[in-house]
């Protein structure tokens, strides 16, 4: 590979320690799972709530509930999958994208420090060395 971002600075076969940011990232993923479960739950609550179209700016409650449920599930699935992926270059990028998704919402305060530490060489090295 000629991509300097994904190049490992540690020789192959040398043990690399697990950076602390990986544990914090798992906690961040857990928080995302919680938030997206709340969004799906809000969609279900809207679907079964006795609401009139005036309560939802003259939008059908089925449409609003579908947006909440669908959007919540679309983000919930990758958040759950992130816990089970093995270490590799592609998985490091997947996790980077999940951190960047957090930059767009209320998790911004957690995403910025995670992003700063995630792009450091020791984290890349840990992911590119494979399983231990």
What is the tens place of the pLDDT at every residue in 113-127? 999 999 999 898 888
Contact 101, 77 (CB under 8 A): no
Q: Can you read off the two tokens belonging to residue 28?
A: 């961040």
3-state secondary structure 53-88: HHHHCCCCHHHHHHHHHHHHHHHHHHHHHCCCCCCC
Confidence (pTM): 0.80
- Where do the structural domains in the chain lie, given as residue ranges? 21-128
Please write the tens of the pLDDT for every residue from 56-83: 777 888 888 999 999 999 999 999 999 9
């Amino acid at each position: 590979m000629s991509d300097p971002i994904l190049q490992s600075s540690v020789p192959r076969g040398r043990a690399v320690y697990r950076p602390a940011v990986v544990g914090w990232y798992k906690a961040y993923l857990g928080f995302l799972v919680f938030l997206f479960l709340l969004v799906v739950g809000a969609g279900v609550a809207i679907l079964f709530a006795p609401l009139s179209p005036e309560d939802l700016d003259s939008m059908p409650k089925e449409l609003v509930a579908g947006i909440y449920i669908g959007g919540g599930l679309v983000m919930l699935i990758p958040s759950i999958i992130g816990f089970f992926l093995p270490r590799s270059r592609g998985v490091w990028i997947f996790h980077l994208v999940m951190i960047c998704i957090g930059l767009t919402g209320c998790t911004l305060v957690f995403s910025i420090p995670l992003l700063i530490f995630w792009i450091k060489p020791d984290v890349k090295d840990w992911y590119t060395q494979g399983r231990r």
